Structure 1
Amino acid sequence: MRLTHPETLAGRARGLDRLVGPALAGALGLLIAGWTWPMMTVSRFVWLEDEVSLLNATRALYGQGDWLLFGVLAVFAFAFPLVKLVAALWIFLIVDARGHALPRALDALDLLGRWSMLDVFVAALLVVAVQASLVSDVTLHAGLYLFTSAVVLSITATQRLRALARQARDSATA
């Protein structure tokens, strides 16, 4: 029994390409874990330590009224990666590979993909900014690696998604 329609990219996938959907779902799980797990511990002096996650840092910026940094973090660390993964899953599982919607959907995914490494840059910038302080020591934690892994897995899976779409287009024109 098939769980996907045969004319979607998921239905046409063969071999390792069948793992595109699970890879995208896994990237979504890693992304959520990367948001919530501590990315670093910031130690100021000997007795003051703060564990920082992306979610906590974003909440703190909002609470302090730092709207610009809050907006940058909210858009590039939360919105773009989430929308990109949901869009990629939708393209893989639902969009008809024979129809006209696929090229438009892939164009939209490409637009989102152009920003995909910026979210890792934002996280790295946060670490560098904290480490630049002379009175702080930073210890990195799993949240940073989970978040980065989500971005890398997302990029890899969407590359395969594009290859599947090219194959579908080429077989339709042949």
Structure 2
Amino acid sequence: MPVTSTFAKIEIPLLSLLLLLSFGFFLAGIITPIMTITKLIFLETSFSILSGLNDLLVQREYFLFIIIGSLSVALPLFKMALLALALCNNRPTKNLSKAIDIIHNFGRWAMLDVLVVALLLVTVKLGAIASVEVHYGLYLFAVSVLITMWVTHRTVVILREK
């Protein structure tokens, strides 16, 4: 993208680095366990976002698979790809700028996953019957979403300044 100020000359490489960092957090967040559910002290089940999606497929919960897969995996990956194109491109097209603006508005829905997991944690806290232990995968995923939201915001601001 054409650089309009000295600050933008510094900010664009920084945003690119943050986007790469966010991608790493994202991959780690969807692969590593996000929680363990313990039932009656004996049965423990740990799962990640990807293993949860796999379980939904196995159980033929296609609607939930599509919703969670779209919001948790597909949308963030698409958003990161668009951001990478915009940050690496010296002259982003009007369509790319428009796409980033749209994804910025709809990208907030990716945080819906963190809300769903948080609601699940509150719901599943059943005392002696079951307990939930949160793992670092949830935090990695949340950090990825927040960094990506910030990079998107700054990229939109830079594109509008042109």
Does TM, scored on the shorter chain, surpass 0.5? yes
TM-score by length of structure 2 reads 0.85
The 5 A counterparts of 1:13-162 are: 13-94=8-89, 96-97=91-92, 99-131=93-125, 135-162=129-156
- How far has the Cα of 1:124 moved from its partner? 2.5
Q: 1:147 to 1:92 in 2, by over 3 A?
A: same
Q: Compute the RMSD of aligned alpha carbons.
A: 2.5
Shift of 1:129: 4.3
TM-score (norm. length: structure 1): 0.80
Q: How many aligned residue pairs are there?
A: 161
Structure with max Cα Rg = 1
- Partners of 1:40 and 1:114 lie apart in 2 by 23
Q: Secondary structure at the match of 2:125?
A: helix
Q: Report the CA distance between 1:46 and its aligned residue.
A: 1.4
CA distance in 1, matches of 2:123, 2:32: 19
Q: Which runs of 4+ in 1 moved over 6 A?
A: none
Helix, strand or coil: the match of 1:51? Answer: strand
Q: Is the 8 A contact 2:82 2:100 kept in 1?
A: no
